[in-house]
Amino acid sequence: MGSTTTAHRAPAPRAARLVTALLAALALTAVTVIGHDAPAQAVSALTTRQLQQDLWGLLYYSGPIDGVDGSGTKAAVRAFQKDNCLAQDGVAGPVTQPKVIAKVKAVQGKAGASADGVYGSVTTSRVRAYQKAHGIPTGGQAGPLTMKAMGIKRVLSCTPTPPPTGGSKVGGSISRTEVLARAKYWTDRRVPYSMYRYTGDPQGRQYRTDCSGFVSMAWHLSSSLSTVTLPDVSHRITKGDLRPGDVLLKGGPGSAGASGHVVLFRGWANSAHTSYYASEESGSHGAIARTIPYPYFSGYGTFLPYRYDRITG
């Protein structure tokens, strides 16, 4: 009896057989999906490796796809920025990355690949097939010839914003209109933030490219003040008195300069005066114009309104 029981295996329960069949079906499905260009979730930001893939695919980068933000990657970013009328700082920040992603998606759309914004192996093969069909060298990268055939503009026509004109002199009286125009000169160029570097105003005068240097430039001061010393040339006002060209400042005498911040007020964004349009030099964003909740984003300390002593109008 015992030997007969061992020789014949009892049939697996029905539930177990169903699980086994389901797993087999899933495995077959997975193989099938991998073999095709399955729809992928579009990216909104790139890792350094993905950035390298995209710039390789767009024929700007020729180095290893290693995720290292080295000199080769930065040079490729600068070349892309130049062709797309962006500030050529070699940093793929919040302005450059969306442009790279959009360009890759445009290529993917023309080549019949999933428009996920990452130039992977499937996109490369689809571009190679497109190139073969159109008599273009079939390297799989979307260079000038391929983009031209696809109707994608690779190099944009860059018309720089002309320097603002105004009657102010260094350290003298200045109108609110000119203050805003001078600020726009930097925000249009997305001047990168730095506490140690300097760049020119519309007339070429050098100002430090941090938040207080930005305001010093906009006010046309004789030097780049800090968040500690800006009150030396301005005075406190109330929220109700705020007008374009004034500032919101966290700083003043006795404050730690490196932890201070200042933004240029450009006008109220709503009738309740709970948010406003502002321009500022802000960390990874660089010189930026955006809407800010009054008095500033939560968790950044106390900001108070100030007015430049020599502003007019």
Summarize pLDDT for 11-55 with one digit per residue, the tens.
445 555 554 554 444 443 333 332 334 445 788 889 999 999 999
Per-residue pLDDT, averaged over 190-206, amounts to: 93
* pLDDT over 70 (residue 80): yes
Q: What is the pLDDT of residue 287?
A: 94
CATH 3.40.190 fits 48-150, yes or no: no
Give the phi and the psi of residue 186 in degrees, each rounded to 5.
Answer: -85, -40
pLDDT digits (tens, 9 = 90+) for 59-68: 999 999 999 9
Length reported for the chain: 313
CA atoms of 85 and 68, how far apart (whole Å): 25
Write down the pLDDT at residue 258: 67
Name the band, by pLDDT with cuts 50, 70 and 90, for residue 259.
confident
- Is the model's pLDDT at 308 over the cut of 70? yes
- Check whether 8 has a pLDDT greater than 80: no
Tell me, what's the pLDDT at 2? 38
Q: What pLDDT, in 10s, does the model give residues 199-227?
A: 999 889 999 999 999 999 999 999 999 99
pLDDT for 17:
56
Which comes out higher in pLDDT, residue 86 or 269?
Answer: 269
Interval 112-165: pLDDT, tens: 999 999 999 999 999 999 999 999 999 999 999 999 999 999 999 887 656 666
Distance between CA atoms of residues 32 and 26, nearest Å: 10
pLDDT of residue 35: 30
pLDDT for the residue numbered 14? 58
Note the pLDDT of residue 253: 77
Give the model confidence (pLDDT) of 135-145 as tens digits: 999 999 999 99
Helices and strands (H and E) in the chain: how many = 9, 10
End-to-end Cα, the chain, rounded Å: 108
CATH no. of 174-312? 3.90.1720.10
Mean pLDDT, the chain, whole residue set: 86
- List the domain boundaries for the chain: 48-150, 174-312
Does the bond joining 162 to the residue before it have cis omega, within 30 degrees of 0?
no
Quick one: tokens of 264? 């240029």
Nearest CA to 263 among 197, 212, 192, 201? 212
Region 232-256 average pLDDT: 92
pTM of the model: 0.53
User: What six digits make up the tokens of 89?
Assistant: 């700082």
